[in-house]
Structure 1
Amino acid sequence: MNQAIDWKRNFFILWGGQFMAIAGLTVLVPLLPFYMEELGVKTMQSNQLWSGISLAAPAVSSAIASPFWGKLGDRFGRKLMVVRALFGLSACLFLMAIVTSPLQFLFVRLFQGAFGGVVDASSAFAGSEAPKEQRGKALGSLQGAVAAGSLSGPLLGGIFIDLYGFRPLLMVMGVLTGIGAIAAWFLLTERNSSKNKVHFEKAKDSIFQTFADLLSHPRTRGFIIVGFAANLAVFGLVTPLAPLVEKIAKSPDYAATWIGFLQAALWTATLLSSPWWGKQNDRSKVERNYMIATAICGISVILQACSANVPALFAFRVLQGLTFSALIQSVMLVVVQASTDYNRGARIGATNSLLVCGQIVGSLTGALITGIFKPEIAFLFMGIIFIGSALLLLRGFTISRVFLFRVNKR
């Protein structure tokens, strides 16, 4: 009974911390091209280049740092990693508010990736502390925290930025994220912390071996590949969104507000559907759920490229949110299922490292396509990536079922 109470309290703290962290980041990300203008970037091509590089920067440093943080969490406790990630992000939000050039902003984003990582730290904690039969639900509900933060950030941030500017808002979010870090430090309880040292002594694998083990297993390899594709596609949509809205909106002067509402539509749908997908993953095949969700998600992105007005774009963003919510949580659940208490943090960190490589490729690809062609082409390309990943997972799922049937028959 006490364990159930502890988990509920832990969950609410994790959810709140993750909500504040994501809200602090998403007030800026979809409006990044506008902030680049404030930092002195003048031309469309330069703006797209700096925006793409800045979006990719934390993914680069996170890809390097995540496996090390995960392994440290396995040894010294995963609560410490949650606190570290929240404090790191809080410091970065303050620094983002005071930078005066795109280069300074880029360095802060690199720092953010190296010392942040709230989502994977929370996932590792939840994967170890949540009841085994509810891990899908726990990861799905934490995905809901990402959605809630991503909803609140652009919705309130777009309006706030139009009225007051970027810098005051970043300061406020830095303070709130710091409060979340303090709450995690004092209130999170880690039931398995006493076992970490014993478990770590059993885990002799190097970080390189952790990557090799994940990629040598057909199921985890398949999900990591499609998760990479999902991150590539969704981050490839970030920089094309602002110019697409400016192009089709009847009042371009209020494009920031429109983008806020469009992002709110996306993340409201994600917030509502994330726990449902998590429950479905506890009840049925994760592969089937993932294939259905990513195929529909790809169709919705292609339809956004064909939108002639903001209401149509709004509707298709809702459909994207209802289905994208299933993707990354499913990848993490498969990795959690394939892990043990002594290597779960390292494996989640390694998985996150591989997934954020998709963010790097997606951010740069989206910015490049938008700069050379037009935003509609970027949306079409990313929609095809989503659908292609569904077909790839279907092929792997079919092959594995045929193989198991032959083995059982023998």
Structure 2
Amino acid sequence: MKFLIYFIVIAAFIDTFSQLPIMSPFAKTFDSSPAFVGLIVGMYSFSNMIGNILAGYWIDKSGAKKVLVSGLSLTGMILVLYAFAETPMHLITVRFFHGLFGGFLVPAAFTVIARGKSHKQGKKMAVSGAAVGCSAIIGPAFGAVIASNYSINWVFLIIAATMITSAILAFVFLPSGNLKKVKEESSHSEKMLPLLKNPMLAASYLGAFSLMFAQGALAYLLPLQVEALQFDSIFSGILLSTFGITAILIFLLPINKIFDKYKHHNSMLAGMLIIGMALILLSSASSLAFMFLCMVLYGIGFALLFPSINALIASHTTEKTRGKAFGLFYAFFSLGVVAGSTLLGLLGVTFNIGFLIAAALLLLTVCGMFIYFKKRSSQLLKSQE
């Protein structure tokens, strides 16, 4: 069962990552204006946030399996419609529903992963992080290779077939969980606002937003830096793969035991600090070798941060609130990506300044959280005396 759910995580993220190199060129084939191309590309992330939040409510009401199977089936069907889009309005409508239904997948999958022993959450989230990392490496290459050798439509059709096959496998093999308990408690289920007021969940959401703001900045600025330093454009992809490979190695090697050995919020802060340092160093990098070193450092920070923020959600929620908590969590993920690339694009800053802005956001967040956690720890000690 656990291998199936990790396969589904890989499939869900490949769906997202495979779009990166092909969606803008695909949108341009519809004779769209540059502004409309941007809207088409961004529509997925916008509707994905809505899907994440809706999925959270649905998971807590009906169980993660039902949401996951429905999300996989609907996403598979909507992907087929890309091949039949004939106008920009057709395409933007398909993009909206693709993002909406795709938003069901990740909260449902991670709710399933979070079941079981609480003291193993860090390691489980590390393995799931490796699945995401594999998708980040495979997805863009898959999209680019299939589109260039066959057609863009084949990218959508192959992923559609993978999604529908995954839906069938999930329906047959995934356990339903304690549906009776979920249904009994659904009427008393918490709303989104109380979850945001939970300090540990709020810290996880801030961590998710900061991580993906940095990721959006990296995706936007790194190609500009490679171009400005007059390196071959292929190194943009290789550098991004370097951080992904570094993170995967940490996720899968025996070192992943650290995620359950130390408190999740401490490893989260360490990860954010390391990513901030990597971005500062990257802002002044002028050689390819130093850029690779920065990306290895970034990968180490990502490896510490991603499982920690997921484990915080799993450890500080109950079965009746976990779906909404993960839905809200991945909405912050989508928001961070959009904010990172869009804000820096609107500011029109150089890659040097852009990396420093992203680093400043991370480091300020780290300082604020460190002060809060220290104060919270002191209050707990006093209450125990």
Q: TM-score range by the shorter chain?
A: 0.7 to 0.9
Secondary structure at the aligned position of 1:29 is classed as coil
Equivalent residue letter for 1:387: L
Are residues 1:122 and 2:109 paired? Answer: yes
Query: Does the 8 Å CA contact 1:147/1:268 hold for their aligned counterparts?
Result: yes
**Aligned residues, how many?**
383
Query: Does the 8 Å CA contact 2:7/2:131 hold for their aligned counterparts?
Result: yes
Report what 1:265 is aligned to.
Answer: 242
Equivalent residue letter for 2:355: F
CA distance in 1, matches of 2:23, 2:279: 21
Are residues 1:244 and 2:231 paired? Answer: no
Distance 1:170 1:378, change over 3 A: farther
Report what 1:351 is aligned to.
Answer: 329
Identity level (%):
20
Secondary structure at the aligned position of 2:175 is classed as coil
Report what 1:7 is aligned to.
Answer: none
Report what 1:72 is aligned to.
Answer: 58
CA distance in 2, matches of 1:161, 1:320: 30
1:114 deviates by 1.4
Equivalent residue letter for 1:348: F
1:115 deviates by 1.0
Distance 1:169 1:324, change over 3 A: same
Distance 1:162 1:68, change over 3 A: closer
Query: Does the 8 Å CA contact 1:127/1:135 hold for their aligned counterparts?
Result: yes
Are residues 1:184 and 2:170 paired? Answer: yes
1:104 deviates by 4.7
Query: Does the 8 Å CA contact 2:265/2:309 hold for their aligned counterparts?
Result: no
Query: Does the 8 Å CA contact 2:265/2:312 hold for their aligned counterparts?
Result: no
Query: Does the 8 Å CA contact 2:42/2:338 hold for their aligned counterparts?
Result: yes
- The 5 Å alignment of 1:163-202 reads 163-164=149-150, 166-201=152-187
Equivalent residue letter for 1:306: S
| 9, 15, 21: which one aligns with 2:6 | 15
Query: What is the CA deviation profile of residues 161-196 of structure 1, one whole-angstrom value per residue up to 9, with x for unaligned ones?
Result: 555554433332232233222221222123423432
| 308, 312, 336: which one aligns with 2:314 | 336
| 206, 209, 215: which one aligns with 1:225 | 206
Distance 1:169 1:204, change over 3 A: closer
Equivalent residue letter for 1:235: G
| 364, 367, 372: which one aligns with 1:388 | 364
Equivalent residue letter for 2:300: L
Single out whichever of 28-37 and 386-395 deviates more from structure 2. 28-37
Equivalent residue letter for 1:87: S
1:64 deviates by 2.7
Query: What is the CA deviation profile of residues 86-133 of structure 1, one whole-angstrom value per residue up to 9, with x for unaligned ones?
Result: 2333334434455466655443332222111322111111223x3333
Q: Aligned-pair RMSD on alpha carbons?
A: 2.9
- Unmatched segments (≥5 aa) in structure 2: none
CA distance in 2, matches of 1:229, 1:140: 19
Distance 1:75 1:362, change over 3 A: same
Normalising by structure 1, report the TM-score: 0.82
Query: What is the CA deviation profile of residues 189-212 of structure 1, one whole-angstrom value per residue up to 9, with x for unaligned ones?
Result: 2342343222324x243xxxx222
Normalising by structure 2, report the TM-score: 0.87
Equivalent residue letter for 1:324: F
Report what 1:6 is aligned to.
Answer: none
| 203, 215, 229: which one aligns with 1:234 | 215
1:78 deviates by 0.9
- The 5 Å alignment of 1:279-358 reads 279-358=257-336
CA distance in 1, matches of 2:76, 2:193: 34
CA distance in 2, matches of 1:125, 1:266: 27
- The 5 Å alignment of 1:79-118 reads 79-96=65-82, 99=85, 104-117=90-103, 118=105
Distance 1:173 1:304, change over 3 A: farther
Query: Does the 8 Å CA contact 2:274/2:300 hold for their aligned counterparts?
Result: no
Equivalent residue letter for 1:108: V
Query: Does the 8 Å CA contact 2:220/2:341 hold for their aligned counterparts?
Result: yes
Are residues 1:153 and 2:139 paired? Answer: yes
Distance 1:162 1:316, change over 3 A: farther
Are residues 1:132 and 2:118 paired? Answer: yes
